[in-house]
Amino acid sequence: MSQKGSDKFKYGLLKAIDVSGFKVFDPVVRLIFAEEPRKQIQDIAKYMLLPIIFCLVCFFMWDIIGPRHKTKSGEVPSPGKVLEAAKDATRFKQREGEKEAAFVAEGKDREALLADSKKKLTEFEEKTAELQELSAAAAKSGQNKIDASLNPIKEKYDTLKAKYKTAQTERKEAISTLADQFANKQASKDELIAAMEEDSLQKESEKEELKVLSQQLDDIRANPPKEIKEAQLAANKAADEVQHYKKVIDILTTGNREVKKNALLEKAEKAEAALTVATTGAEAQKQAKAVVSNKDKAGKADEQKFPKAATIYWQTYRSLATVFVGFLIAVLVAVPVGIMCGLNRIVMACLTPIISIFRPVSPVVWLLIFQIIVGAFFPDPDKHWLFQTMNESKLLPGFIHNLQVNPAMIFSACTVAMCALWPALVNTALGVSSIDKDHLNVAKVLRLGFWSRLFKIIIPASLPLVFAGLRISLGVGWMVLIAAEALSSSDGLGKYVWDEYQNGSSQSFANIILACFVVGIIGFFLDRIMIMLQKLVSFDDGSATA
Amino acid sequence: MKTHKILRTIIGLGMLGATSVSAEQLDVEKDELKFGFIKLTDCAPIVIAKEKGFFEAEGLQVEVIAQPNWKQLLDNVITGELDGAHMLSGQPIAATIGFGTKSHIVTPYTLDLNGNGITVSNAIWEQMQENDPTLDTDTPKHPIPATSLKPIVDAAKEDGKKLPMGMVFPVSTHNYEIRYWLAAANIHPGMYTSTDLKGFTNGDIELSTTPPPQMPATLESGKNVAYCVGEPWNQQAVAKGIGVPVTTNYDIWKNNPEKVFGVTKAWADENPNTLIAVTKALIKAGKWLDATDASGKLINREEACRILSQPNYVGADYDVIKNSMTGFFYFQKTDKREMPDFNVFFKYHATYPHYSDGVWFLTQMRRWGQITEPKPASWYKEIAEKVYLPEVYKKAAAMLIEEGSITKDEIPAADYDGYKAPTKDFIDGIEYDGKKPIEYLNSHKIGNKDDPSLSAK
Amino acid sequence: MSFLEIKQANVGFGPVSNRTEVLSDINLKVEENEFVAVIGFSGAGKSTLMNLLAGLQRPDQGSVTVKGQLVKEPGPHLGLMFQNYSLLPWLSVFENIELAVKTVFPKLSKSERRENIMHYIDMVKLTPAAEKKPHELSGGMRQRASLARTLSLQPEVLLLDEPLSALDALTRSELQDQILNIWEKDKRTVVMITNDVDEAVLMADRIIPLTIGPQATLAEEFRVNMERPRDRHTLNDHPEFMRLKAEITSFMMGLNKESKANANSSSTSMPDIKPKDFSLPSARLDFRNRKAKPSGSRSVA
Q: Could you tell me if B288 and B139 lie in one domain?
A: no
| C120 close to C180: Cβ distance less than 8 angstroms | no
In a domain, B198, yes or no: yes
Mean pLDDT (whole number) for B216-234: 89
Whether residues A299 and A333 fall in one domain: no
- pLDDT tens digit string along B323-343? 778 888 888 888 888 888 888
Whether B50 maps to a domain, the answer reads: yes
Q: Taking a contact as any Cβ pair under 8 Å apart, which residues of chain A between 174 and 233 contact chain B?
A: 218, 221-222, 232
pLDDT digits (tens, 9 = 90+) for A25-63: 888 888 888 888 888 888 888 888 999 999 999 999 999
B189: in domain: yes
User: How many CB atoms are closer than 10 A to CB B444?
Assistant: 17
DSSP assignment of B326-341 equals TTEEEEETTEEEE-TT
Bond from prior residue into A307 cis (ω within 30 degrees of 0)? no
CA distance linking residue A491 with residue B6, whole number of Å = 43
Same domain, A397 and A465: yes
The pair phi, psi for residue C159, each rounded to 5°, is -110, 115
Task: Choose the closest CB to A438 out of C86, C100, C134.
Answer: C86
C86·A442 Cβ contact <8 A: yes
- The answer for A 269-308 residues in CB contact with B (under 8 A) is 293, 297, 300-301, 304-307
Q: Are residues A386 and A513 in the same domain?
A: yes
Whether residue A378 and residue B319 make contact (CB cut-off 8 A), yes or no, is no
- Better-predicted residue by pLDDT, A356 or A185: A356
Q: Do A300 and B56 touch (CB under 8 A)?
A: no
Going from the C-alpha of A113 to that of each of A123, B323, B350, the distances in angstroms are 15, 36, 40
Give contacts of C73 with chain A, Cβ < 8 Å: 444, 447
**DSSP letters spanning A103-119:** HH--HHHHHHHHHHHHH
Q: Are B74 and B140 part of one and the same domain?
A: no
The residue type found at C221 is E
Burial A15-43 (b: 16+ CB within 10 A, else e): eeeebebeeebbbebbbeeeeeeeebeeb
pLDDT of B21 > 80? The answer is no
- Asked whether the predicted pLDDT for residue A223 surpasses 90, the reply is no
For residue B200, the enclosing domain spans 116-252
Give a yes or no: residue A98 inside a domain.
Answer: no
C115 class by beta-carbon count within 10 Å (0-12 exposed, 13-18 middle, 19+ buried) = exposed
Q: How confident is the model at residue A542 (pLDDT cuts 50, 70, 90)?
A: very low
The count of structural domains within chain A is 4
Q: Residue B187: give its domain's CATH number.
A: 3.40.190.10
Q: Are residues B231 and B282 in the same domain?
A: no
Instruction: Tell me the shortest Cα–Cα distance from C13 to chain A, in angstroms.
Output: 18
Residue B105 has pLDDT above 90, yes or no: yes
Inside any domain, residue A545: no
**Residue A161: domain span:** 110-234
Number of helices and strands in chain C (H, E): 10, 10
Report yes or no on B331 lying in a domain. no
Residues A214 and A171 in one domain: yes
Chain B closest CA to A286's CA: distance in Å?
Answer: 10
**DSSP annotation of B146:** G
For residues B178 and B67, state if they share a domain.
Answer: no
Q: What is the pLDDT of residues B192-216, one digit of tens each?
A: 988 888 889 889 999 999 888 788 8
* Closest to B257 (Cα-Cα) out of B366, B362, B381: B362
| A230 lies in some domain | yes
A488 in contact with chain B, both atoms CB, cutoff 8 A: yes
- Interface partners of C (3+ CB pairs, < 8 Å)? A
Task: Answer yes or no: do A390 and A528 share one domain.
Answer: yes
* Out of A515-529, B100-114, C76-90, least confident range: C76-90
Q: Is the pLDDT of residue B349 over 50?
A: yes
Residues A262 and A223 in one domain: no
Name the least confident of A134-148, B274-288, B385-399, C275-289. C275-289
**Spatial separation of the C-alpha atoms in residues C56 and C80, rounded to whole Å:** 10
Residues A198 and A62 reside in one and the same domain: no
| Alpha-carbon gap, residue B95 to B264, rounded angstroms | 10
Q: Is residue B24 part of a domain?
A: yes
The strands making up B32-37's β-sheet, listed across from edge to edge, are: B61-66, B32-37, B84-88, B259-264, B105-110
**Per the CB < 8 Å rule, is C86 touching A456?**
no
Would you say B264 and B76 are in contact if contact means Cβ atoms under 8 Å apart?
no
Strand, coil or helix: A347:
helix
**Rounded to whole angstroms, how far apart are CA atoms B319 and B302?**
10
What is the predicted pLDDT for the residue at A222?
Answer: 74
CB contact under 8 A, A504 and B213: yes
**Are C and A neighbours with ≥3 CB pairs closer than 8 A?**
yes
- Binned at pLDDT 50, 70 and 90, residue A540 comes out as low
Q: Measure the CA–CA gap between B225 and B334, rounded to whole angstroms.
A: 22
pLDDT score of A73: 65
Which amino acid, one-letter code, is at B417? D
* pLDDT value at residue C45: 82
Residue C101: C-alpha distances to residues B424, C104, C146, C148 (Å): 99, 5, 13, 11
The strand pair at B84-88 and B259-264 is best described as antiparallel
The CA radius of gyration of chain B, in Å to the nearest whole number, is 22
pLDDT digits (tens, 9 = 90+) for A500-518: 888 878 888 899 999 999 9
Whether residue B447 lies inside any domain: the answer is: no
- Which positions of chain C have pLDDT values less than 50? 267, 281-301
- In this structure, are B59 and B182 located in the same domain? no
Q: Are the beta carbons of B141 and B148 closer than 8 angstroms?
A: no
Residue range A77-133, pLDDT digits in tens = 889 989 999 999 999 999 999 999 999 888 888 889 999 999 999 999 999 999 999
Whether residue A91 is contained in a domain is answered as no
**Residue A539 to residue C80, Cβ atoms within 8 A:** no
- A-C CB pairs within 8 A amount to 57
Q: Do A304 and B32 touch (CB under 8 A)?
A: yes
d(CA B372, CA C7): 88
Q: What angle in degrees, to the nearest 10, is found between the helix axes of B122-131 and B150-158?
A: 110
Q: Please tell me whether residues B410 and B271 are part of one structural domain.
A: yes
Residue A247 located in a structural domain? no
In a 13 Å sphere around the CA of A428, the CA atoms on its Cβ side amount to 25
What residues in A contact B241, CB-CB < 8 Å?
72, 218, 221-222
Q: How confident is the model at residue B104 (pLDDT cuts 50, 70, 90)?
A: very high
Cα–Cα distance, C234 to A350 (Å, whole number): 64
- What is the ipTM, given to two decimal places? 0.77
Give the pLDDT of residue A325.
Answer: 94
- Average pLDDT, stretch B377-390? 94
Domain match, B261 and B201 both: no
Sheet holding C61-66, edge to edge: C20-30, C4-13, C61-66, C69-70
**A29/chain C closest Cα distance in angstroms:** 24
Q: Which of A538, A434, A535, A414 is nearest to A477 (CA)?
A: A414
Helices assigned H by DSSP within B297-452: 301-308, 318-325, 355-367, 377-387, 390-403, 437-442
pLDDT at A332: 95
Residues of A in contact with B317 (CB under 8 A): 236, 505-506
With pLDDT > 70 as the criterion, what percentage of chain B qualifies?
95
CA distance A362 to chain C (A): 38
CB-closest option in A444, A452, A457 to C56: A444
pTM, rounded to two decimals: 0.79
Candidate from B32, B39, B56 with C-beta closest to A255: B56
Asked whether residue A324 falls in the same domain as residue A222, the answer is no
Distance from CA of B39 to the nearest CA of A (A): 7
Question: How far is residue B276's CA from residue B200's CA, in Å, rounded to a whole number?
Answer: 41
Note whether B211 and B137 are same-domain residues: yes
DSSP C89: T
Q: Cβ B240–A378 below 8 Å, yes or no?
A: no
Q: With H, G, I as helix, E, B as strand and everything else as coil, classify residue C226.
A: coil
Enumerate the residues of chain A whose CB falls inside 8 A of the CB of residue C133.
539
Assign residue A416 a region: left if phi > 0, alpha if psi is -120 to 50, beta otherwise?
alpha
How close does chain A come to C34, measured CA to CA in Å? 22
Residues of chain A in Cβ contact (below 8 Å) with chain C: 436, 438-439, 441-442, 444-448, 452, 456-457, 460-461, 463, 537, 539-541
Chain A residues within an 8 Å CB radius of C155:
none
Distance from A15 to chain C by nearest Cα, in Å?
15
Same domain, B108 and B138: no
Phi then psi dihedrals of residue B65, to 5 deg: -120, 125
Does the structure show a pLDDT above 90 at B165? yes
How buried is residue C16: exposed, middle or buried, by Cβ count under 10 Å (0-12/13-18/19+)? exposed
Residues A287-305 as b or e (16 or more Cβ within 10 Å = b): beebbebbbebbebbeebe
C-alpha to C-alpha distance for C123 and B426, rounded to whole angstroms: 105
Per-residue buried b or exposed e for B43-78, using 16+ beta carbons within 10 Å of the residue's own CB:
bbbbbbbbbbbbbbbbbbbbbbbbbbbbebbbbbbb
Test the C interface: residue of A441, A442, A445 with most C CBs within 10 Å: A445
Q: What type of residue sits at position A385?
A: W
Shared domain for A9 and A118, answered yes or no, is no
Higher pLDDT residue, A325 or A190? A325
In DSSP terms, C38 is beta-bridged to: C193, C208
Nearest Cα residue in chain C from A442: C86
The answer to whether A444 contacts C73, with C-beta atoms less than 8 Å apart, is yes
Neighboring chain B residues of A489 at a CB cutoff of 8 Å: 65-68, 72, 76
Residue B367 included in any domain: no
Taking the CA atoms of residue A241, residue B310, residue B35 and residue B27 in that order, the dihedral angle to the nearest 10 degrees is 20
A445–C153 C-beta distance less than 8 A: yes
Cα B222 to Cα C242: distance, rounded to the nearest angstrom: 95
Within this chain, do residues A334 and A474 fall inside the same structural domain, yes or no? yes
Convert the pLDDT of each residue in A457-482 to its tens digit.
999 999 989 999 999 999 999 999 99
Task: Tell which of B76, B210, B320 to mutate to test the A interface (max A CBs under 10 Å).
Answer: B76
Nearest to B311 among A300, A406, A503 (CB): A503
Which subunits count as partners of chain B given 3+ CB pairs below 8 Å? Answer: A
Q: How far is B446 from chain A (nearest CA, A)?
A: 35
Q: CATH number of the domain that A413 lies in?
A: 1.10.3720.10
pLDDT of residue B245: 93
The dihedral over CA atoms of A384, A320, B84, A377, expressed in degrees to the nearest 10, equals -30
A457–chain C nearest CA distance, Å: 8
User: Are A323 and A440 found together in one domain?
Assistant: yes
Q: Are A265 and A182 contained in the same domain?
A: no
Measured between beta carbons, the chain B residues lying within 8 angstroms of A381 are 79-81
Total number of domains in chain B: 2
Interface test with B, best of A70, A71, A72 (most B CBs within 10 A): A72
Q: Tens digits of per-residue pLDDT, A224-271? A: 788 888 888 889 889 989 989 998 998 898 888 888 888 888 888 988
Q: For residue A7, give Cα distances in angstroms to A2, A18, A23, A24, A39.
A: 8, 16, 18, 20, 18
* C102: nearest Cα among C59, C146, C152: C152
User: B120 and B108 in one domain?
Assistant: no
CA distance A350 to chain C (A): 25
- In this structure, the answer to whether residues B127 and B173 fall within a common structural domain is yes
B150 shares its domain with B289: no
- Answer yes or no: is A243 within a domain: no
